[in-house]
Amino acid sequence: MGSVKSQADNRSRERTPGEQDLVFAAAILDKDRKATAEFVGRYSDSIYSYVRHRLIPRSDLVDDLVQDVFLAAWDNLDKFRGASSLQGWLLGIARHKVESYYRASLREPDPIESDRDSDSVPVDDPRLEEALDRERMEARTRRVLESLPETYSLALLWRYWEKRTARDIARDIGKTEKAVERTLARARDEFRRRWNHGE
C-alpha cells in the first residue's frame, strides 16, 4: 500500500509546471473550495500590482477591475489549455481588461479643448518620454497625472507606459490617428506645463 502511495507521489512530482496548472485548474472547475481559495491567494497580488500600475491615477477602479479579471478567469477556466502558465494566462486577461478600460475612456470626447495651437507642440519630446519612463512611480509624476483630465492621463499611460503607437490607439478606440496625435499633443503640453509649474 505504501509503495502505491509513493508511486502516486512520484508521478505528481514529475508533472511539468504546465501540467500542474492544468490539474490545479481542473480542481477549481470541480468546485474544490481549497483550490479556489488558493487560486485567489496565489495570484491576486501579482494581478493587483499589474492593474494598479496601469490605472494610475485611477486607483479607485483597481479593486473592481481585479475582481473582473478573476470573474472572467472563472468563466473561462475551462478554456485554459496550459499553453502558458496560469499566471501568464491571468495577466493576459488583466491586460485585456485594462486595455478595454483605456479604449472605453478614450472614446469619450476630449474634456478640455486647448486654446493653444496643438500643432506647435512637438509630437515626440524625448525629455518628456524619459521623464515618464524614469519617474512614473515617483510621487511627483502621480500627482501630475492625477491632476490631468482622465482622457489625458490615460492617453499618456497607454502611449508611454504600455508602449502603444498612436495608430494602435486610434484603431482600438475608433478614432483617427490624427485625432489621437492631437489628444497626445495636448496631454503632453498640459503634463509639461503642470510638471514645470510644480503641480
| Residue 3 scores a pLDDT above 50 | no
pLDDT band with cut points at 50, 70 and 90 for residue 198: low
Taking the C-alpha atoms of residue 174 and residue 8, their distance in angstroms, rounded to an integer, is 54
| Identity at 123, one-letter amino acid code | V
Average pLDDT along the chain: 75
Q: What is the dihedral of CA 121, 168, 131, 119, to 10 degrees?
A: 0
| pLDDT for position 135 | 45
- Output the pLDDT for position 124: 59
Check residue 7 and give its pLDDT.
45
Q: pLDDT grade, residue 108 (50/70/90)?
A: low
Say what the pLDDT of residue 130 is.
55
Of 162, 161, 158, 149, nearest in space to 189 by CA? 149
User: pLDDT digits over 159-194, tens only?
Assistant: 877 778 888 888 888 888 898 889 888 888 888 888
Q: 0.95 exceeded by the pTM?
A: no
42-92: pLDDT as tens digits: 888 888 888 888 877 777 788 888 888 888 888 888 888 877 888 888 888
Query: What is the pLDDT at residue 18?
Result: 66
At residue 127, the pLDDT reads 57
pLDDT on residue 46: 87
Q: How far apart are CA 88 and CA 91, in angstroms?
A: 5
The string of pLDDT tens digits covering residues 131-162 is 445 544 456 777 777 788 888 888 888 887 77
Start-to-end CA distance of the chain, whole Å, equals: 71
